[in-house]
Amino acid sequence: MSQVTSIENTVEKNSKEKYLSDYQVSNYEIDSIDLEFELYDTTTLVKAVSSVIRVGEHQQPLFLFGEQLQLKKLLVNGVNHPDYKLVKGGLELSYLPQTFTLEIHTEINPQANTSFSGLYKSGGAFCTQCEAEGFRRITYYLDRPDVMAKFTTKISADKDLYPFLLSNGNPVDQGDLDNGRHWVSWSDPFPKPAYLFALVGGDFDCLKDTFTTKSGREVALELFVDKGNLDKTAHAMISLKKAMLWDEQRFNFEYDLDIYMIVAVDFFNMGAMENKGLNIFNSKFVLANAQSATDQDFLGIEAVIGHEYFHNWTGNRITCRDWFQLSLKEGLTVFRDQEFSSDLGSRSVNRIANVKTMRNHQFAEDAGPMSHPIRPASVMEMNNFYTLTVYEKGSEVIRMLHTLLGEKAFQQGMELYVARHDGQAVTCDDFIAAMQDASKIDLTLFKRWYSQSGTPNVHVSDHFDLSKNCYQMTFKQKTQPTADQKIKQALHIPIAIELLDKQGNALKLADNKTNTILSLTHTEQTFVFQNISEKPVPSLFRGFSAPVKYQYAYSDLQLLHLMNFASDEFSRWDAGQTLFNKYLALNVQRLQDKQEMKLPALFIEGFKGVLVSELLDPALIANMFEFISETGAMELFDRVDIEALHRAREFMLSQLAMALHSEFVTVYHARQVAGEYLAITADIADRQLANLALLFIAKADPALGNELVVKQIAHCNNMTDHLAGLVAANSASLACRETVMQDFEEKWFENGLVMDKWFVIQASQDRSDVLDNVKALFKHRSFDFNNPNRLRSLVGAFAQNNPYHFHAEDGSGYHFLTEQLIKLNKQNPQVAARLITPLIQFKRLDENRKNLIKKQLNRLLQLDDLALDLYEKVSKALKQ
């Protein structure tokens, strides 16, 4: 009857923060909801019949959230109910009985929904995304995670255009209608919040399989993809079955429905969504074969398939009471998918990948204007909760719990958590309480990780007393004030350590072990080790045992000692990174002092030993030469000198390339993988090292690099090696670059996911006209501004992965990104809010760049219709 303006839609009415402390239990509950959809592109009709119960003795009106809806009919117990009014953000009903049936008819326009939240069209298919608050764009409802109801869904559509009509739960019935339409009914027996609702209607290719659970039930598995993509689905199905088996074996969790479905769509803001029984995926995390996907794509698909499946118990069966508790499901499930990947592949390589994400990106988030704890205290826009802090740091907090409790007690805690809360919407406190009760370990202090933001800094000093054979270590922790919190408290920080003697042997510590976990629980704490006959080299925070920055005055020789002898492979990698970062900072200082940059021979020799090692995992060797990104390196400085940082890093890489040229050539030829392409751990490691060597060869010897790149691309049988050739040609500006890039584009221009890789390379060029090239590519036949994947691969890659040129002194990069954000503000503010990140993390930049950025942020702030997603980030950035 009237178009409702979204409560999230305009800034001036909605700039007030929402607070965790304001949470109140809903005045009404919904026991069940029966949905009927008549799918049409521009006028989809939705009928929602809910069984509603008033909670307690009160006469408060029922407020139902709703956005961009046309209300057609409203009935209470089958009778027109006149006592309602449309208000900002929804619908308010008064004078209601204690229990009643509420029937609401709405009309929506999926074709016009470019935000990809709610019900929308992805290519030729209907698709939904309801997390966090998308269901309110489908019908008026109590769209909050603590309202859990049983859903049944009936969908009707044109049978020729949409032969597959899918929703949550198990299929119940189906039939044909007049005018070439048909219908399908679904029933989900498990109560769920509205954010887990899903619907898909389309024409797909379908890969079918089955999985037999540990109790002997056969579950149907169905994977739906766009026509013509069936040859790219086998790996995703294998990954799903591996995840189902792993979850039974490691966590004793068994799948609970008769069918499990995955649908891959091209237009999707996120990676994937764990809707009960019907996961909707960005096609990037489903489609893969040797010709079109890299090793990292295969690994990423395995991880994301696992992540969404693992949500069945940690997110679906037990969900969040409110969105401030998001890390309850996401941090825990990221930890579970990381363990899954580690158990199936290389634990150390996976750990290194996780830590790179933390150091290159999450630490910057902690230090930026959007700093928040893993359980935030306030927010303006719920979509802005989906952060590296909530997910990745949230996972690190779960990992610390696992470290402190051990596998056995941790699993006992998980068992108790499920026993207590299955079918409920709960809080992070409920999870910690289960862990504490099961383990009998007091976690009161540990809970501060949930409420305190920022990255702790731990300063480590030591003293060795030869006369007493006594070694002591003093740890001081401090967390700097952040944008959201000025006062910080001491945290419970687990520190995994190992002490090495001069020969590289690990010294025996407590309980005759060679490594131990120290619990730092005070601002300053000293630990004493007896019966130590020589000053050892300490290996600190083994396995990245806590998400902190730490400082210890390692000498070059001590770092090389750790690179050679630490029993923990992560610690070897970490020592190499620390050594590189040390000389990166020194060379930046030399440039600023107008001195010649230098690298000592000891540095070169140390990395040479790594490169030629026959004992180390090839993947570990490759990772040790994949040094901190320029974006991550900005966190090493209080004030970043963009030009000096870029020059110093390039100098160090070039010096390594030239000094170890012959070794890189030897490694390149030795690590070639012959025969059929297999995405297995050993082959992935060899390809990673060979392609790393190719990158350094191209940097030191462009002629040889050119020859090898042309040959590799001509003869390779997989996307990993093909793409590595393009990256080497691009990075070293080889003579063949334009030819191999053009040939790649001619071959793959019709495949958007493959072309995303090409766009990333184009946006990552180190040349003065790279921004002009990026702008020109907006007209490329494979680019679609409406597709989030294309935007991330071109605009996002330039802004995030090419900081030297994005932060050009004239501010052109800032102006360019702002122009795109203005376009996206109306079209897809959720994507805009993710792309803006490098524009708001400016506090370490020089005053000129800060002022140029502030100018662009003020442009955004002055928009009359600035979406709340952007307003929150822009306003907080300008308050820095």
Distance CA 124, CA 226 (A): 9
Cβ atoms of 357 and 388 closer than 8 Å? yes
For the chain, what is the largest distance between any 2 Cα atoms, rounded to a whole number of angstroms?
A: 95
Q: In this model, does residue 11 exceed pLDDT 70?
A: no
Q: Give residue 93's Cα distance to chain centre.
A: 39
Q: Does 308 qualify as catalytic in the annotation? A: yes
Q: Which among 380, 359, 358 has a CA at the least distance from the CA of 369?
A: 380
CA angle 267/270/276 to nearest 5° reads 100
Strands across the sheet containing 205-212: 205-212, 218-225, 259-265, 278-282, 272-273
Alpha-carbon distance of 605 to 600, in angstroms, equals 9
pLDDT band at 483 (very low <50, low <70, confident <90, very high): very high
- Is the predicted pLDDT of residue 10 greater than 50, yes or no? no
Q: How confident is the model at residue 15 (pLDDT cuts 50, 70, 90)?
A: low
Span 467-486, mean pLDDT?
Answer: 97
Q: Tokens at residue 676, please?
A: 């059929």
How many CB atoms lie under 10 A from the CB of residue 59?
A: 9
Give residue limits of the domains in the chain. 1-203, 457-565
Of 8, 308, 365, 872, the active-site residue reads 308
How much of the chain, in percent, has pLDDT values that exceed 70?
A: 98
Residue 14, pLDDT above cutoff 50 = no
CA dist., res. 656 & res. 604, Å (int): 7
Q: CA angle 327-332-333, nearest 5°?
A: 105
Task: Give the chain's end-to-end CA distance (angstroms, integer).
Answer: 44
The answer to whether the beta carbons of residues 698 and 729 sit under 8 Å apart is: yes
Whether 7 has a pLDDT exceeding 70, the answer reads no
Q: Is 1-203 a domain of CATH 3.40.50.1360?
A: no
- What fold, for 457-565? Immunoglobulin-like (2.60.40)
418 C-beta neighbours (distance < 10 Å), count: 18
Sheet architecture: strand order including 493-500? 515-520, 493-500, 537-539
Mean pLDDT score, 433-446: 98
Q: Is the pLDDT of residue 180 over 90?
A: yes
How is residue 138 written in tokens?
A: 């489908």
Q: Residue range 381-399: average pLDDT?
A: 97
DSSP 141-179: B--STT--BEEEEEEEEETTT--EEEESSEEEEEEE-ST
Would you place residue 880 in the very low, low, confident or very high pLDDT band (cuts 50, 70, 90)?
A: confident
Backbone phi and psi for residue 213, each to the nearest 5 degrees, phi listed first? -75, 170
Residue 5: pLDDT band with limits 50, 70, 90:
very low
The mean pLDDT of 550-575, rounded to a whole number, is 98
202-230: average pLDDT = 98
Strand 425-426 relative to strand 319-320, pairing = parallel
- Which pLDDT score, from 0 to 100, does residue 510 have? 82
Peptide bond into 132 cis (omega under 30): yes
The two domains 1-203 and 457-565 share their CATH topology (first three levels equal): yes
Average pLDDT, the chain: 96
